[in-house]
Each structure stands twice: as structure tokens, then as C-alpha cells.
Chain A
Amino acid sequence: MKRTLADRNRKRTFAGWIGKRALGGVLTVLLASILIYGALRLAPGDPVLAMTGGRRLTPDQVEALRHRYGLDQGFMQGYLAWIGDALRLDFGTSMNYQTSVTSLITNRLGVSGVLILYSAVLAIVFGFAVALASAVKGGLVNRVAGIVAAVTTATPTFVSAIGLLALFSVGLGWFPATGAGTGLADRLWHLTLPAVAMAIVAFGVLARVGNAAFAEELRREHVEVARSRGVSTAAVIRRHVVRNALAPILTIIGLLFASLFVGTAVVETAFGLDGVGSLLVSSVSRRDFPVVQGIALIAVLLFVVVNTLVDLAMPFIDPRVTVGGPGR
């Protein structure tokens, strides 16, 4: 009787906690969207001239543009019109391509999406393996892994991109230097070098964070207790070490998604891929504002969603995370 009441209370605080977290995420996206929209207004001089980047326009065309981007209205009105459209996935029309920003982005999601997932899988699989092996084996393996992780963490993506390009595609000819390929197998083959280049930093970070987390869990007494009960080494590592280290590792994976997204800009430029990242770079240099704003908003949204999901997963991973505690 008593327990059902307690359970109900727990459920209520849990719902409230989820609401709080979600609200925090929404607030972040909201403020970021104001910043992204406001950036246009920050531009020195007439924003429309900044947007058109020196292209010659008739006064009528300028006026039409001003109206289109809500620049003839107050800030709030303009913002509300823009965000209202954005919520309906309408980010306006590209100045450069003269097509809708949404279709520009969706046409390129195939390349960038595969690239991000591919590199995330590479980074997680290898980072996890190296972290676990070095923490369990210790000694020389640990030292070598530590050096590898330190170097890969510090390798800028554009350096790994040109290094891989020079060695594996120009030098050895194993992989193509440009293009995204057609069909799944061909695409994966084309995207292998770019994905590896993007994954290198994330791999290093995961290997270091994972190693620290695994090593800490290995020192815990309950691991020794499990060993003292004759639980096999594999089961001890799976049930007590990996399971317990999951929380910090998942948190870092969530944070790494931001660096992977930025990585697509560099890697797609280096390997001549037509993806969202290279679209962002070319739009920034051409000051194609609607495209930049659209991509920036989507990126922030994705990043916040991923990290909020990670946050929400925490109580299931670690029951000690108090759901009713102060939401920070």
C-alpha cells in the first residue's frame, strides 16, 4: 500500500525532472536561434548589402529582399516570422542557388549523415576497444595507448585529412581522393578516408576518457569482490567495469557529436564532397545567409537533442543519479 504511493510520487518527480531537462534544452535552442537570427542584424551597414555580397541589385530587388527577410519590420516581429517558418522547416531561399534552403540541405544529408554515423561508429568501436584493452592490460600497452590517444586528440581534422589523402589515395591509390560514390558499398568505400579523418580526434578523446573511466572502475572494491566470488574475468569486465563506466563515456560521446558535425565542414572540403558541411563553408564565404542560418539552427538543435537524450538516459544507467535533485 505504502509502496504504491511512493512509486507514484517517484513517477511524478521523474516526469517533472524530464520536463525540466527538456525545458533547459528548449531554452538553449531558443536563445541560440535568437543569436543566429540576430547575427544578420549585427552585420555592419545594410544587412541586405552584406547578404548580397556586392552583387548588383536594383532598388526594387533590395526592397523585396528586405521584406522577405523581415528587415523592414522590428527585430521581434522579424524573428518571430523567421522562427515560425523555420519550425515549419522553411528556412527561406538561398541567395546563391536560388532554391529553397531546405531542399539544399536535405539533398546533402545523405553524404553528411553517412559520414557522421560512419565516423562515430569508427571512433566508438576503436576508442572503446583501446580504452578497455589499455585499462585492463596496463603496463606497456597502457603507455603506448596513452601516447597514441594524446597524439590523435591533438591532431586537427584538416591535418589528418591531408595526411590520409596524401598517403592512401594519392600515394598508395587504395581509396578515391574525391567524390561520394553511388550505392551503399561504393559510398562507404569513398567515405572511408573522410570518416577516418573525422574519427581520429573523437577516437583519441574516447580512448582517454574511456581509459580513465575503466581504470577507475577496475580499482573499485566490488570488482575485487566479484573476482573473489569466482566470476570469470570476461563477466567481471562486462558486468562491473564496462557497465559502471558507461555514464561518463556516454556523456563524452554526446559532446563529441558537435565536433563531428564541425568535422564534416573540414573533411567535405578536403575530399571535395558535396555535403552539408561543404555547403556551410561555401555559403559562409559567399555570405549566403539563409543557408548559414538554416544549417546553424539545425546543428544546434541536433546537438542539444543528442545531449538532452544522454542526460535523460543517465538515471537508467546509474540508479544513484537522483531524479528529484536540483536540475543542473
Chain B
Amino acid sequence: MLAKKTLARKGTPDGRAEDRRDALGISGLSLAVGTGERAIPLLADVTVRVGRGETVGLVGESGSGKSLTARAALGMLPRGARATGGVTVADVDVLAAGRRQLRDLRRTRASMIFQDPRASINPVRRIGDYLTEGLRARGVPARAAAERARDLLDQVGIRDPKGAMRRFPHEFSGGMLQRVVIAGALSTEPELLLADEPTTALDVTTQAEVVGLLKDMQRVHGTGMLFVTHDLDLAAAICDRVYVMYAGRIVEEAASASLFAAPAHPYTRALLEASPSVHGEKAEIKAITGRPRALAESPSGCSFRDRCPLAGDECAGTVPAHRPHGTSLVACVRPEQVTP
């Protein structure tokens, strides 16, 4: 175990090309709750890859399964759920891992940052307790853990780290708490950071600060990051690549740079047009007709076809396979009608 870990640390953070191991590799992941007739599918054939030190966005509306996907990376499946496909985090097969292996994975390889920092930290325990919990679980002595926690608090820009350790969560603002959460997530030196809407619960002004901090910390620590958000603009701004998710499926994968110029999936384009963006030439905002679907209630064939302006008969037959179009990988039969 230990030997493996030191080996892993040898790869340079930014040397993506020569490192064969991805921080996160999800391939063909399907998830369902229940069995037989009453089974409710939640995810279908989800493939997501995060290289070492890479920032990858996972974008979708609520209910699209993006949080489920992020949690699956830590082996945190809904109660009674069955998963097929593959999930590996730094060479650990998550779906096959036992309790102990999963625990070790969460203690050393991967950390998660949740949406609401106020809900993420136990309100009756001190900040220092929260920060050292992950390290202590791994067996780091109390004193060393506290020292490391103070150092991290300093790094994320909390003044008077020593005093902050003794404070309770309700004495901090939301933005400050999210800094604490980030420090806590990085305390175990993970190779993979899963950020599940880390700025949604914050004020707009603090959002930018926290995102900036997250990027800085990720760069300094060389951590791969899966950034889950419903905000396509934000994802495109900070990520290297972006996956767009709809109704439990990945509908498009593209480099952030090309996403605005050339969306390949009608849903991606609809998302771009629906957001009050400063990037587009048109000031007009178009809402997407209908409401977002979960996988269980989506139509046959392409899940998006009941809301898609371009849908035709051929969309109803089978789920469209992913195919390259421009620089994207898209699950649509006629991407040339979206962006030629």
C-alpha cells in the first residue's frame, strides 16, 4: 500500500502526457435502483476521464445525474443501487473495492467538496476538528495533523489560523467556510478532487474568490479535479475539458475552448442560449422548452428529443452513439445542424 503510494507521487503534476494513470476513469457506468420490472435507472453508459492535474467540468441541470456520477467515484452509491461498468481512481477499482479499500481510497486518494459549506461541517464541532478529521482517520498523530491544518488554513487565506481552529462553524461566513472545506479536502493530499457545485451556495462576489482559490490550490498541489456545476460558462472558464450531461447520460464532451464557438449537441447549444452570457453576440435569452428529465422518465432513443427543436423520427429508435464532430465527441445523429 505504502510503496504504491510513493510510486504514485513520483509522477510530475503537469506532465500529463508521460503519466499513464488517470486521476479518475469512469467508463460505461450504469446505475439502477431496484431489480427487475421495478428497477429505476439513474445513470446509463457514463464515461468520464480526469487526467492527473487536469480540470474537467461536468455540466448539467439538476437531476441529470452529475452529482451521482461524482459520488460514484468515491463508491458512494444510493442505497440499494447496482452499478455496472468501470470506475477507477488512481488505479483502484472502486466498484470492486471492499469497505476497507474504499475507506483507504477516501482517506488518501480522493476528496470531495460539497455544495453547501454550512451543511458540510458538523455545526457542533470545532473547525480544527473538521480539518484534522481526515488526517486523524489515516493515523496521523494529533499534533502533526493540527500543524498541517494550520498551514492549510493559512494557504487558503484564513487569518489567524490558530484562533480559527478553535472556532465553531457558525462564527464564519459562507465564503470563509468554503475555504475551510477546501483546506479540509486538500489536507490528505489527494490525487483527485471532486467539487460538487462548490460555489452555488455562495454570494456572487465570493464565488469568484473561491473558484480562484480552488484553481490555485489545485495547481499548487497538482490535483486532478472534476468540477460539477450547472453553470456552463463557469465550467468553460476554469476547465480544460467539459462533459455535458443530460438525463443520466453524457451527451457531449468537448475542449472548453471550442465549446462556445462550436457546440455539437442541441442541448449544449440550448444551455448556452439559455444563460445570460456576455460571450454570445445575441443578447436574447432562450429558455429550453419543457422541464429537465431524469433518466427513468426520459423518452426512448435520444433522451433530449422531446425538448429538442431538431428532433426527427430517427431520434426515437436507438440511443445515439458518441461520435466525433469537430473537436467534440457528441451523442447526436445530426450535429452538423447544430454547428456545421
A and B: direct contact (Cβ < 8 Å)? yes
Contact B124 A220 (CB under 8 A): no
Q: Is the CB of B124 within 8 A of A221?
A: no
CA gap between A156 and B216 in the complex, in Å? 65
Q: Which of B12-20, B34-42, B98-106, B331-339 contacts A (4 or more CB under 8 A)?
A: B98-106
A227-242, CB < 8 A from B: 227-232, 235, 239-240
Q: Is A319 in contact with chain B by the CB < 8 A criterion? A: yes
Chain B residues, Cβ within 8 Å of A243: 122, 124-125
B84 at the interface (CB under 8 A from A): no
B108, B112, B125, B168: the one within 8 Å of A228 (CB): B112
Contact B168 A319 (CB under 8 A): yes
For chain B, residues 188 to 207, give those with C-beta under 8 angstroms from any C-beta of chain A.
188
Q: Which partner residue on chain B sits nearest A316 by CB separation?
A: B124
B133 within 8 A of A: yes
Closest to B103 in A: A230
Instruction: Assess whether B76 is in contact with A221, with CB atoms less than 8 Å apart.
Output: no
Within 8 A of A (CB), among B87-123: 102-108, 111-112, 114, 116, 119-123
Contact B123 A320 (CB under 8 A): yes
A170 lies within 8 A of chain B by Cβ = no
Q: Which of B71, B116, B124, B133 contacts A229 (CB 8 A)?
A: B133
Is there contact, CB below 8 Å, between A229 and B107? yes
How many whole Å from A184's CB to the nearest CB in chain B?
38
Cα–Cα, bound, A239→B111 (Å): 19
A318 contacts across to B, CB distance below 8 A: 123-124
Q: Which single member of A230, A235, A244 contacts B104 (CB below 8 Å)?
A: A230
Interface membership of B170, Cβ < 8 A: yes
A235 to B129, CA, bound (A): 13
B116 touches A230 (CB 8 A): no
Q: Does A226 contact B (CB under 8 A)?
A: yes
Q: How many A-B residue pairs have CB under 8 A?
A: 73
Report the bound CA distance from A244 to B129 in whole Å. Answer: 14
User: Which residue of A has the minimal Cβ distance to B111?
Assistant: A229
Contacts of A320 in B (CB 8 A): 123-124, 168, 170
- Contacting pair B119 A232 (CB below 8 A): no
Contact of A3 among B74, B105, B114, B163 (CB under 8 A): B163
In the complex, what's the smallest C-beta–C-beta distance from B92 to chain A, in angstroms?
Answer: 12
Complex interface: chain A residues within 8 A of B170 (CB): 319-320
Does any Cβ of B come within 8 Å of A11's Cβ? no
B223 to chain A, nearest CB (A): 15
With a cutoff of 8 Å between Cβ atoms, the chain B residues found around residue A228 in the complex are 71, 74, 76, 106, 111-112
List chain A residues, Cβ under 8 A from B125.
239-240, 243
B112 in contact with A225 (CB, 8 Å): yes
- Please provide the chain A residues from 207 to 230 with a CB less than 8 Å away from any CB of chain B in the complex: 220-222, 224-230
The range of chain B's interface size is 20 to 34
Chain A nearest CB from B186 CB (Å) reads: 12
A284 at the interface (CB under 8 A from B): no
Number of interface residues of A (CB under 8 A): 22
Contact A222 B120 (CB under 8 A): yes
Interchain nearest-CB distance for B90 vs A (Å): 14
Knowing A226-B133, A228-B106, A235-B137, the reply to whether A244 touches B76 (Cβ < 8 A) is no
Residues of A within 8 A of B114 (CB): 221, 224-225
User: Which residues of A sit under 8 angstroms from B248, Cβ to Cβ?
Assistant: none
B51 within 8 A of partner (CB): no
Let me know if B133 and A231 touch, CB within 8 A.
Answer: yes
Is A317's CB within 8 Å of the partner chain B? Answer: yes
In the bound complex, CA of A237 to CA of B108 (Å): 21
Contact of B119 with A222 in the complex, beta carbons under 8 Å: yes
Q: In the complex, A260→B85 CA distance in Å?
A: 57
Which one of A222, A230, A235, A319 contacts B105 once the chains associate, using CB atoms below 8 Å? A230
Residue B53 lies at the interface, judged by CB distance under 8 Å to chain A: no
Q: What are the residues of chain B within 8 A of A225 when measuring CB–CB? A: 112, 114, 120-121
Q: In the bound complex, how far is the Cα of B137 from the Cα of A177, in angstroms?
A: 52
**Residue in A222, A227, A319, A320 whose Cβ sees the most chain B Cβ within 10 Å:** A222
Interface assignment of B224: CB less than 8 Å from any CB of chain A: no
A222/B133 contact (C-beta < 8 A), A229-B106, A230-B107 known: no
B138 touches A (CB below 8 Å): yes
B123–A319 contact, CB under 8 A? Answer: yes
A-B contact pairs, 6 of them (CB 8 A): A222-B120, A228-B76, A230-B106, A230-B108, A317-B124, A320-B170
Having A222-B123, A227-B76, A320-B124, one finds 17 other A-B pairs with CB under 8 Å, namely A222-B119, A222-B122, A224-B76, A225-B120, A225-B121, A229-B134, A230-B104, A230-B106, A230-B107, A230-B108, A232-B137, A239-B125, A240-B122, A240-B125, A318-B123, A319-B170, A320-B123
B→A interface (CB under 8 Å): 71, 74, 76, 102-108, 111-112, 114, 116, 119-125, 133-134, 137-138, 163, 168, 170, 184, 188
**Interface positions of A (Cβ within 8 A of B):** 3, 220-222, 224-232, 235, 239-240, 243-244, 317-320
Among all A-B residue pairs, the 9 with the closest Cβ atoms: A230-B106, A230-B107, A221-B119, A229-B134, A319-B168, A230-B103, A222-B122, A228-B112, A225-B120
